[in-house]
Structure 1
Amino acid sequence: MNARLMLAASLLAAALAACAAGLIITSGFVGDAGISDTVVYATYGERIASGDMPYRDFEVEYPPGALVPFVVPALVSSTQSRYDDFFETLMVVALAVASCLIVVSLRALEASPRRVVFAVASFLTGVILLGPFVLTRFDLYAAAVCLAAICAILHRRAYLGPILLGAAIATKIYPAVMLPLLVVRTWKREGPTAAMRGIALTIGAVLVLYLPFALLAPEGVVKSVWRQVGRPLQIESLASAVLLALHHAAGMPLDWASGSGSQNLTGAVSGVASAVTTVVGVAALGFVWVKFERGDSYEAARFVRYAAAATVAFVTFGKVLSPQFLVWLLAIVVLVPGVRGAIAIILLLVACLLTRGWFPHGYWDLVKQFDPTASWLVLARDLVLVAVFAVLVARLRAREPAKG
């Protein structure tokens, strides 16, 4: 079988496997969604479909790139039930697209067929472990856009890669942590002119998506961006998990409140913890960027590993660590080659399984009662993510193979 036929067969197999995973998730065999965001999405989509402008006529907390999966189901549905069904189908399509992009990305890394199967299977297993709620969030769509950018970068598409990265940032902000890595890699491989071109293309793509709304509704856009970066300490974050552990182990008083689209710990202690976790997160990202710049290799495999490490740092040490964020990690960690990558993937699957221990059906017990079992599961999950980060950035004595 020649290379093209093998690639076509691999893509078909990945898409069919993703559809099978979608059927498992929607069958009820692994439970129900429990908590859904589609009511909010439907409200946004219906208002846009009726002619209202987001950010000006109504508040939107998400970037403009995220509006696409909100409005498309609204155009073809008239009830919430039909909207939910169409949105769910759209996320299964995103799951299939992401699976195919994993295959194509690994082709650029010259991964073995066995490694490709392991990566796609791990990605789909992680999504299944998280459960049906992932189909009621748009994070699979965001992960697919980010994977498209990574795939283009790995295949040395000098224009398409940065443009898609900009689109990914304007869909969900987390891919921004990869831009410094792309700039450094391009500078070292192709020179400063190519690096500046990459920056311009990425920022330009972000501006193209933001600019129409920024011109017509500047205040609404600013409020949307501030809501994303200025959020309080969400109850499932690493810092919150430590405070919950102190609450149960030492009786530390805690309180909570809803706000900014999540449930958060409140009070002076949580404010300090929020500041500390911000500093730690910035330091972790800086460590990843500097370590990548100081390395002597800018091959594709190394770029993927550090891109994964930066994404894990952003999620793990952030002020918000919602369960659906694990989808972002699954989509990129499965690309990391070698034994290091396999260990990181296994740990990430453990994190998905631990998440299922309290979300969605134990979530409100965690929030309202600081349920001890759920609290310790949150801490365990977050510490496993710290371990994933450590595995990705640790220095190994023997050089890892670049191929998987």
Structure 2
Amino acid sequence: MSDIKRILWGDDVRRATTVMAALFLVACIVYLLVVYFAGIETEVIRDRFWKNAEPLFNGEFPVMEYPPLAIVFIAIPRFFGNTPWSYETAYVAEVFVFVVIGLLLVSRLARVLGYDRIKAMMAYSILVVLMIEFVLDRFDIFVMVITLASVLMFAERRYNWAFVLLAVGVLVKLYPAILFPVYVLLMMNQGRMREMAVGAASFVTVGLVAVAVCWVINPEIITNFLSYNSGRPLQIESVAASVIYFFSLFGVSDMWIQEASAESFWSDNLRGAIPDAVSEVLLTCTVIGLIAVWVLSAYLLKRHPGQGSRLAALAMLACMLVFLVVNKVFSSQYVIWLIGPVLLVMLVCNDGFGRRVFMLTVAIILLTQLNFAYNIGYLGGGDAINSLGMAILLVRNILTVYMLAVVLRRMFSVGDGDADGQGSDAVLA
């Protein structure tokens, strides 16, 4: 008993960790009670249970919109629950475990980077709790935590594990791939060519092995994922959709809102001649935007070699923001992707800029929740979404674009000193 007390309550950091984990547990229980007594059919029940887990446990490998390793996290709760409600409970328990793992990773990363561990865990807890229903009813928390573990391994100079975990994240959901060039550039800047080559080889090997195995099982596991995400129309929450809708109020374009259904990729979309044309080019624009950030990062790392840690953290956040801002899909749960990079910027910059980025993220989350509550909860989504609902999205998206501009500006000024104060450049590599 004394050993357990020491582990959970031995010092200030452990007490804070226990309290925050307990708060997560309470949030999970409250969520389950609301779902149960309100009779809500969650996305976990509708999609993960009926469309993915049940076919798998009946001998059919499901073809999903996610990369192949996602099925592991979908299958685990099915071992503990064979009915919709028991599966929902097991899924929330799985998410709770990952949320606590994320808390422990943040604490350890803060220690490595010389940041106050309790403050870092508090920042993590605030962002997670503000997004709690998306954390518990979506898939994105798993990838965020895996990516966070990869960053921790990188900070601890366990580079091979960093690349392997990044590959695992990509095999669960594609977006961590945009951080791979940042890893490579930072290691080249540090002259760690051998470690970089080994890590990159591990990244590629893990990916190819997983793809090869899935291809043997069923090629559609790979082809359907790629075609699904490339063929989507302009989702209503995207930056482009909110801007086009705003100009349509002045008669600039004709458009309509397509209600979520199987034909609409289960999302509300903005359709019409202009939205459809814009949707066709946004994937290319996203790739160009990411390449621009990588090129900028390479240039600034060469110009300011002593600021590698700070530039890498800012580049990771900039990549994530470009992906959200330029992409044709900006679903509410995608905001979860920002939690890791935002915390990393806070830990590495350790100054007023880190706090500014954190507050911007909180504002984006609150507007995202307002959008979900009004457009989906109150209006019911689809063509019921009105101009007020679109105005909420427009403000949220403008704030996200502004956050990207702020991060890019800081990247340019990182070697020159600025109004926020430099803080300490923690060692990331």
TM-score (norm 2): 0.84
More relative contact order, 1 or 2 (CA 8 Å, 6+ apart): 1
Q: What per-residue deviation string (whole Å, max 9, x for no partner) do you get for residues 106-159 of structure 1?
A: 222222x2xx43333233222322342320112111111111111111111121
One-letter identity of the residue aligned with 1:89 = A
Structure 2 vs 1, CA of residues 25 and 384 (structure 1 numbering), >3 Å: closer, same or farther? Answer: farther
Is contact 2:53–2:75 with CA below 8 Å preserved after alignment? yes
**How many percent identity over aligned positions?**
23
One-letter identity of the residue aligned with 1:291 = L
Is contact 2:8–2:18 with CA below 8 Å preserved after alignment? no
Is contact 1:24–1:30 with CA below 8 Å preserved after alignment? no
CA displacement at 1:96 relative to structure 2:
1.2
Structure 2 counterpart of 1:234? 235
Tell me which moved more, 333-342 or 237-246: 333-342
One-letter identity of the residue aligned with 1:339 = G
Structure 1 counterpart of 2:3? none
Structure 2 vs 1, CA of residues 357 and 251 (structure 1 numbering), >3 Å: closer, same or farther? Answer: farther
Structure 2 vs 1, CA of residues 237 and 249 (structure 1 numbering), >3 Å: closer, same or farther? Answer: same
1:266 aligned to which of 252, 271, 295: 271
Is contact 1:127–1:134 with CA below 8 Å preserved after alignment? yes
Is contact 1:74–1:83 with CA below 8 Å preserved after alignment? yes
CA displacement at 1:282 relative to structure 2:
2.8
2:56 aligned to which of 43, 48, 57: 48
Counterpart CA distance in 1 for 2:230 and 2:112 is 34
CA displacement at 1:369 relative to structure 2:
2.4
Structure 1 counterpart of 2:87? 83
CA displacement at 1:93 relative to structure 2:
1.6
Counterpart CA distance in 1 for 2:403 and 2:93 is 31
2:388 aligned to which of 362, 369, 373: 373
Counterpart CA distance in 2 for 1:372 and 1:335 is 36
Counterpart CA distance in 1 for 2:248 and 2:164 is 46
1:287 aligned to which of 284, 289, 292: 292
Is contact 2:8–2:14 with CA below 8 Å preserved after alignment? no
Q: What per-residue deviation string (whole Å, max 9, x for no partner) do you get for residues 167-219 of structure 1?
A: 01111111111111111112232344433322211121222322211122123
1:117-128 to 2 correspondences below 5 Å: 117-128=118-129
Counterpart CA distance in 2 for 1:316 and 1:35 is 30
Q: Which has the higher helix share?
A: 2
Is contact 1:11–1:100 with CA below 8 Å preserved after alignment? no
Is contact 1:355–1:378 with CA below 8 Å preserved after alignment? yes
Structure 1 counterpart of 2:423? 401
Counterpart CA distance in 2 for 1:6 and 1:188 is 42
Secondary structure of residue in 1 paired with 2:234: coil
Structure 2 vs 1, CA of residues 205 and 11 (structure 1 numbering), >3 Å: closer, same or farther? Answer: farther
1:328 aligned to which of 298, 322, 337: 337
1:27 aligned to which of 15, 23, 30: 30
Question: Is residue 314 of structure 1 aligned with residue 323 of structure 2?
Answer: yes
Aligned-residue RMSD, C-alpha: 2.8
Is contact 2:140–2:337 with CA below 8 Å preserved after alignment? yes
Q: What per-residue deviation string (whole Å, max 9, x for no partner) do you get for residues 239-279 of structure 1?
A: 01112212334474212334223222222211222245435
Structure 2 vs 1, CA of residues 5 and 367 (structure 1 numbering), >3 Å: closer, same or farther? Answer: closer
Counterpart CA distance in 1 for 2:251 and 2:28 is 40
Structure 1 counterpart of 2:74? 70
Divergent runs of 4+, >4 A: 4-9, 28-35
TM-score (norm 1): 0.89
Question: Is residue 200 of structure 1 aligned with residue 201 of structure 2?
Answer: yes
